[in-house]
């Protein structure tokens, strides 16, 4: 919130990148930091200190649930229950994470594929 009492504009980010996890052939949780992404305009690695502003995930699996969360995984076997604070997705999901009250703390994300052979791509926008 700005000092004028209105919400600052929400953007999809100053940088955009994608991560193709299709070659990851397991169903463990995997953590991605901002440095796992590369800016699509110049090919440079997204720098440490950037924050996720937008996150989208697309899975080829439309019958079994994949998961994402807006924080790092504690381990490969993290739970996926409703009380675990995860986002289940069938095919795709996206969120403007900059709109969240705790958006400043989103510096890493995690994903868990429904099946190892699934195609799975994560799209992300970042603010510096």
Mean pLDDT of the chain: 89
Domains of the chain, residue spans:
15-127
Q: Which residues of 103-118 are buried (b: 16+ CB within 10 A; e: fewer)?
A: beebbbbbbbbbeeeb
Structure tokens at 40: 């699509």
Q: Which CATH architecture has domain 15-127?
A: Sandwich (2.60)
pLDDT for res 34: 95
If one counts every other C-beta atom within 10 angstroms of the C-beta of residue 1, the result is: 8
CA distances from 124 to 7, 63, 81 (A): 22, 24, 25
Please tell me the distance from the alpha carbon of residue 21 to that of residue 106, in angstroms, as a whole number.
Answer: 20
> Which segments of the chain have a pLDDT < 50?
1
pLDDT for res 91: 94
Please tell me the distance from the alpha carbon of residue 85 to that of residue 44, in angstroms, as a whole number.
Answer: 32
pLDDT for res 120: 98
pLDDT for res 95: 87
pLDDT for res 3: 60
């Amino acid at each position: 919130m700005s000092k004028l009492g209105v919400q600052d504009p929400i953007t999809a980010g100053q940088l955009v990148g994608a991560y193709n996890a299709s070659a990851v052939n397991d169903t463990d949780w995997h953590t991605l930091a901002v440095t796992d992404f590369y800016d699509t305009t110049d090919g440079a690695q997204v720098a440490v200190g950037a924050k996720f502003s937008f996150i989208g995930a697309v899975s080829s699996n439309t019958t079994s649930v994949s998961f994402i969360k807006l924080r790092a995984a504690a381990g490969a076997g993290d739970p996926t229950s409703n009380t675990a604070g995860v986002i289940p997705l069938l095919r795709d999901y996206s969120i403007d994470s900059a709109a969240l009250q705790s958006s400043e703390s989103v510096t890493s994300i995690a994903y868990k594929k429904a099946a190892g052979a699934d195609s799975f791509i994560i799209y992300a926008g970042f603010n510096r």
